[in-house]
């Protein structure tokens, strides 16, 4: 029984698991600062500029394709009633 005394004392001194609290010194989810807001704004502006540039290149490519494929199209700046190609019966 003498060998059991330290074991019983150890078991009696154990802390209940529900009373153990864990904490950290740093906040895991800090509030975003003003600098983070500014960096996100610049990132958003960069994404919008790249997207605008890509859409502009695609639209310009489509206009070039339209001009080479259909040169007499009115969307290329050709007048709808071209005097040179209009034939009247009384001419």
Q: How is the chain split into domains, by residue range?
A: 35-67
Distance in angstroms (rounded) separating the CA atoms of residues 71 and 83 = 17
CA 35/CA 46 separation, integer angstroms? 17
Radius of gyration in angstroms for the set of CA atoms belonging to the chain, rounded to a whole number: 39
pTM reported for the whole predicted model = 0.50
**Which pLDDT tens digits describe the chain residue by residue (91 residues)?**
556 677 777 777 776 666 667 777 776 677 788 899 999 999 999 999 999 999 999 999 998 888 888 877 776 766 666 556 666 666 5
């Amino acid at each position: 029984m003498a060998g059991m005394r330290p074991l019983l004392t150890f078991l009696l001194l154990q802390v209940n698991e529900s009373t153990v609290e864990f904490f950290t010194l740093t906040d895991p989810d800090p509030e975003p600062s003003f600098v983070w807001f500014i960096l996100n704004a610049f990132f958003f502006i960069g994404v919008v500029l790249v997207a605008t540039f890509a859409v502009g290149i695609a639209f310009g490519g489509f206009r070039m394709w339209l001009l080479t494929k259909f040169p007499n199209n009115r969307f290329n700046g050709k007048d709808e009633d071209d005097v040179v190609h209009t034939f009247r019966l009384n001419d």
